Chain A
Amino acid sequence: MSAAADRRALDRFVAGLDVDEDALATAIVGKAVDRTVVVEALLKALASPQPALAVLGAQRIARMPDVAKPVAAQLTLIAAGEDEGDERVRTACAAALRAHGLPVPGDDGKRGNPLDPKPVPVFARLMLRALMMRSEQPIVSLEPVYSEDAPHMRGELSEDEDDVLHVKLTGLPPEFHGRRLELSVRRDVDARELTTIATAQARVSPDGAVAIRIEPELGSVADIRRWLAAGIELVASED
């Protein structure tokens, strides 16, 4: 498979077009292999016994679009080396870490760890649509308005044994993981703004699952169904 064929397969995949499965798999594996090779090369460049070349390696990493974890770990180790190694290399490694928004050992008196998760992105909102079911359970099935926003998400509104309604969601995308969700609905079909009617008590699990309880006093099942049908949005709270 040529580089051009790999590129074509990935371009089609990202655009949302049908892709030959083998071509896509080959392209993805090829990209992973290339990254592995480059990561190895970068680690060797950083380990160069010649400070001038190690500095060039760190400067290269600083301008690359992202930094692989093994490389970030190596940069941190070098940047943290207080009494050993070349000062210029340490400085260049620290600069590379900063260029990628990674913590630098010694900055602000804290020693960073590149393997720590990055700060949670501020924006995590998802528009959902309700599919009314004929059967009793679940009462309403939920899906993302734009499937590419949450390709694995499944959701439903169902009633527990105490007749309390719950919105149960699985497969939420990573930006929602570990965050607390608010459920907003359009309470009036003509309303421009959505109203938050419930907040999940637990945070979204690491695999993207959450349940949101809807307090019974908010409205009847029919009300909730009508509101959901008019518009739904999930928003990760700022905490």
Chain B
Amino acid sequence: MTTLVDEIDLVAIAANACLRTGIPGHEQQVAYCLAVLHGKSDPPRASQHGPPARTYKLDVGADDYSQRLGDWADTIAGHMRDSGVMYEAIHDEVDRYEITTLRRLIRSGKGDDIVDALADGLAAVLTSGPRLQDMTRELAREVEPGGNHYVFQSPLSQWVGTIVRRKSPRETDPLEARTEQCSGDRTPGESERVTAERDEVYRTLVARIAALADTRDLLSNTIGRADQIERSAAQIQLASTDEATKLQQIRAELAYVVDELRKEQRGVGPMLAYIVLAMRTADKLQRVTILSLRVASLERAVVDHLAHRMRAAIDDPLQPTPLLIAQTQQAKVPGPRSAALERLRNAPASRAAELRPVVRMLDQLPATVGDVAAIAAALPGKVSKGSVATMRGDAAKELALVDARYEHAFRRYAMATR
């Protein structure tokens, strides 16, 4: 690998391919992929269209070597152009514990239980490979190419499809199929009963979690009931050991997710109070922060509700709470923020006058905005999109300094990254 990367000017070959395919500036990435591809084992493989044949045929010293290297550079650059965004989206989502794009790629009409199992393996493969920005000559020198490395040698969706086909029959039969296998010596009536019980288990799981929102039940109770659900599942022989383990892991994550959502929910009120009461000492930042919570990508009911809660914080004589003041005093935020809150607390008589400009501003700002450009256009004076994006990021950082929950809630609505 070292020899190849050092002796052949892969970057120059990659640069030409990038120009030809319309992705100039990606030569480091294409060069990395070429280097890894070069190191992959390339035995003859069975083909539907003829006798077994090798795939890459990159033999140093062969007459057609340069031609093949150039062709593969073009192929890789082309797939990087077509699948690069999706590939990066998968990496971005994994950073947020999400697999939305991956799920979309491997939806093939089979049951979700299969999708989940496959996504497990696929996510592992993808996270074992570097992001585009990490694809460098230095890394190429260190990496030992494995058979599962994806280096844009084929379209991402096709590569994922190949993995799915290879893994499905052996490791991830659909739940329905497994149930049929388990019930091989059962009478038809028993099979129907098992199916009904299986459906009931999953309905119950969903219903129990739904009850959280309705009854404000204690989390421990819900988790306790999840135990019962698992036991029920085991009794009716639905799950393999692997599935039972998976269900246990999901249960642990379920507890975490519910806890985090609750924390976030509790952070929304104080976050909005901080935005309208403390951030008024930075007019432009405050406007950007408020407008970021009025983006059209959010459901209108959510936008209106957040706006309503901002007004409620202004009208509520108990705001700012002692907790919010204490948090602001302790946080390393600009000093005027804390002073602004203390003034409201210490001089309730002048509260209305103090907050009148904020009320006016809330009324004057558009009820919804399309995007960052629309936020920039709604601000007084000339403000660039870049400045708005920077201010939005600054707002998130400031909220994080006061309370992590406020940042989480802000990012959820303003940046859709929760």
Residues in chain A within 8 A of chain B (CB atoms): 3, 7-8, 10-17, 19, 21-22, 24-26, 28-29, 31-42, 44-45, 48, 50-53, 56-57, 60, 63-65, 68-70, 122-123, 125-127, 145-146, 148-149, 151-152, 171, 173-174, 192, 194, 207, 233
Contact = CB atoms under 8 A, between A and B. Distances in A.
Contact of B262 (A19, A29, A151): A151
Contact of A125 (B119, B268, B321): B321
Interface stretch (B91-99, B168-176, B187-195): B91-99
A52 B299 contact: no
B283 interface: no
B343 interface: no
A146 B269 contact: yes
Contacts of B349: none
Contact of B268 (A15, A26, A29, A34): A15
Instruction: Determine chain B's interface SS by DSSP, over half rule.
Output: helix
B220 A60 contact: no
A25 B326 CA distance: 36
A21 B250 contact: no
A14 B250 contact: no
Interface of A: prevailing SS: helix
Contact of A36 (B134, B212, B253): B253
A37 B412 contact: no
A150 B218 CA distance: 12
Given A13-B261, A125-B323, A64 B95 contact: yes
A65 B305 contact: no
A42 B127 CA distance: 7
A19 to B, nearest CB: 6
Given A25-B209, A28-B257, A37-B116, A17 B130 contact: no
A117 to B, nearest CB: 14
B209 A29 contact: yes
Contact of A32 (B123, B220, B257, B409): B257
B413 interface: yes
A37 B322 contact: no
B201 to A, nearest CB: 13
18 contacts: A15-B302, A15-B413, A16-B265, A17-B301, A25-B209, A29-B205, A33-B253, A35-B257, A36-B249, A37-B119, A39-B97, A45-B124, A53-B130, A64-B97, A122-B330, A127-B322, A148-B268, A192-B345
